[in-house]
Amino acid sequence: MSTEQIRTVVPGPHRWIYRPAPRANARLRLFCFPYAGGSPTLFRSWVDAIPADVDIMAVRLPGRDNRIKEPAYREWPALLAAIEDSLRELLTGHFVLFGHSMGAAVAYELARQLSAKGRPLPAHLLLAGCRAPHVPRYIPAIHHLPDEKFYAGLRDISGTPPEVLADKRFMTLLEPTLRADIKLAETWSGAAGQPLGIPITAFAGVDDAIAPPDRMPEWAHYTEKRFAAHTLPGEHFFIRTSEGAMLSQIRAVLESC
């Protein structure tokens, strides 16, 4: 394990980044991308479960938290360009990318874009609850449906708590972001193409109907390095229900980077 510390400057408040426990002299940065509509604060509970020399940098996309009034991105090229430009000073040195569901697609596409431009690559890519780009969707698209059917679709994937769906005032604020994020997830596709020169670890919930565990090995086509897949108890949001088990696996990866 390298003991080299990150020497690049870590800024103070950054609208794209939520740091639950800033570690300015960390050896490694862990960039985390949440699921559709998700807040980066969901990674707050990870602080004590990961190595003490890792700095969590949870990415706050437009349309949530203190960026709720900013329109969420609906198209991949614009989103990726904005992320790369906004995080350019941080995507250096030693770092790892993690994402769940739509966030995993963002993490993968960002790694692919960095590779294509010859920029520094992550030491590892951690992908949870996400099909590979060439694998077809397993459930019908909902991002284009009228409100009631859209909300019913959200209930079906158990991603939005019932009390949130019942709060019409809050849903009025959140609905555009959810639609935009889910549109990104549902329109995402592609081919394996040139494999990335970084290891990939994929996580799946044993009962996940959106990204079934038997298709996670498809991610092996996307790397020329090591690949591993782990199946954990739970449905699509096993990131919450099996958090401890997943973090145990993530910790091992981070310690080896």
Q: Which residues are catalytic?
A: 101
Structure tokens at 207: 């009962």
Contact at 8 Å (CB) between 130 and 66?
no
Which one-letter amino acid corresponds to residue 42? L
Q: Where are the alpha helices (DSSP H) in the chain?
A: 76-86, 102-116, 147-156, 162-166, 168-187, 238-241, 243-256
Q: Which amino acid is it at 188?
A: W
Distance from C-alpha of 61 to C-alpha of 70, rounded to nearest angstrom: 9
Angle between helices 168-187 and 102-116 (to 10 degrees): 50
State the Cα–Cα distance between residues 40 and 94, nearest whole angstrom.
21
